[in-house]
């Protein structure tokens, strides 16, 4: 599979290493010095995009124009999702997006939903979320933390929103910390006066995220439409 990398920072380099190890070829590397939006053609079968939230919309639109399927790992662009989804469908194009491509994190998401259903029966427990990432991460809270909060809101019954500084008992507090050289850690806490229950995922490196995006690209190659990790992992089946 010929892959174009849109974004060639630490994640892009990790994807390159793992993709080559799986027998794929990196044919294009786009960066600030070599902008993707200036490309009139791309020698690739699929693109993997890890850049910045403000660039995602234009990158996906350009992929549609070039008939280039794209896997998007950048987060915090979802305010434009419905518009972008319609653009992809109108072009009969292919988009795979996720707040996190790690298999372990997606198992954590499913465990979080199940735990939220259980804990909805016990009002003595209050829920909060903590996420820790490297200091270079620009969005806070992380997309993974937001997805975690949304899973709780959909399944618990006692919460209707999340916030970095909650205004009521119906808000889930997300505490977003930024520390040097941290791949990513997420905790869900349920705490009462007598005990505390914790659900956690701790990444040891970027490899899990990078590998997940490559597997997503392999899966997306022959498909048209808009897809997520639920489609790939078939958790709902």
Residue pLDDT, tens place only, 210-234:
999 999 999 999 999 999 999 999 8
Distance set, CA 231 to CA 27, 72, 179, 217, 237 (Å): 27, 15, 33, 13, 9
133 is a catalytic site residue: yes
Among 24, 59, 133, 186, the one annotated catalytic:
133
The Cα 107–Cα 66 span in angstroms is 34
Positions of CATH 3.40.50.720 in the chain: 2-101+207-233
Positions of CATH 3.30.360.10 in the chain: 103-202
CATH fold, domain 2-101+207-233, is Rossmann fold (3.40.50)
Residue 236 has pLDDT above 80, yes or no: no
Contact predicate 189/128, CB 8 Å: yes
Residue 237 has pLDDT above 70, yes or no: no
**H runs (alpha helix) in the chain:** 10-21, 53-65, 81-90, 103-119, 143-156, 207-220, 229-233
The Cα 231–Cα 237 span in angstroms is 9
pLDDT digits (tens, 9 = 90+) for 82-141: 999 999 999 999 999 998 999 999 999 999 999 999 999 999 999 999 999 988 887 889
Among 85, 91, 113, 137, the one annotated catalytic:
137
What is residue 120's three-state secondary structure? coil
Q: How confident is the model at residue 235 (pLDDT cuts 50, 70, 90)?
A: confident
Mean pLDDT within 57-83:
96
% of the chain residues with pLDDT over 90: 89
| pTM, full prediction | 0.84
CATH fold, domain 103-202, is Dihydrodipicolinate Reductase; domain 2 (3.30.360)
How does DSSP assign 33-49, residue by residue?
SS-GGG-S--S-SEEEE
Q: What angle do CA 214, 219, 223 make, to 5 degrees?
A: 130
Q: What pLDDT was estimated at residue 137?
A: 82
Mean pLDDT within 155-163:
96
What is residue 210's three-state secondary structure? helix
What is residue 28's three-state secondary structure? strand
Q: What pLDDT was estimated at residue 234?
A: 86
Q: What pLDDT was estimated at residue 181?
A: 84
137 is a catalytic site residue: yes
% of the chain residues with pLDDT over 70: 99
């Amino acid at each position: 599979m010929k892959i174009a990398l849109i974004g060639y920072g630490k994640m892009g380099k990790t994807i390159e290493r793992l993709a080559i190890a799986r027998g794929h070829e990196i044919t294009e590397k786009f960066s600030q010095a070599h902008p993707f939006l200036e490309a009139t053609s791309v020698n690739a079968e699929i693109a993997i995009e890890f850049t910045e939230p403000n660039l995602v919309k234009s990158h996906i639109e350009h992929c549609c124009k070039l008939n280039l399927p794209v896997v998007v790992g950048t987060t915090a662009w979802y305010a434009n999702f419905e518009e972008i989804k319609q653009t992809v469908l109108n072009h009969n194009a292919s988009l795979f997006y996720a707040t996190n491509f790690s298999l372990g994190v997606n198992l954590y998401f499913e465990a979080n939903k199940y735990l939220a259903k259980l804990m909805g029966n016990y009002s003595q427990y209050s829920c909060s979320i903590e996420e820790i990432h490297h200091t270079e991460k620009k969005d806070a809270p992380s997309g993974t933390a937001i997805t975690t909060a949304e899973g709780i809101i959909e399944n618990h019954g006692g919460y209707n929103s999340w916030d970095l500084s909650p205004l009521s008992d119906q808000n889930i507090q997300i505490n977003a910390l930024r520390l040097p050289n941290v791949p990513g850690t997420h905790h869900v806490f349920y705490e009462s006066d007598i005990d505390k229950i914790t659900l956690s995922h701790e990444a040891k490196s970027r490899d899990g995220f990078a590998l997940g995006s490559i597997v997503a690209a392999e899966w997306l190659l022959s498909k048209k439409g808009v897809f997520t990790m639920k489609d790939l992992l078939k958790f709902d089946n």
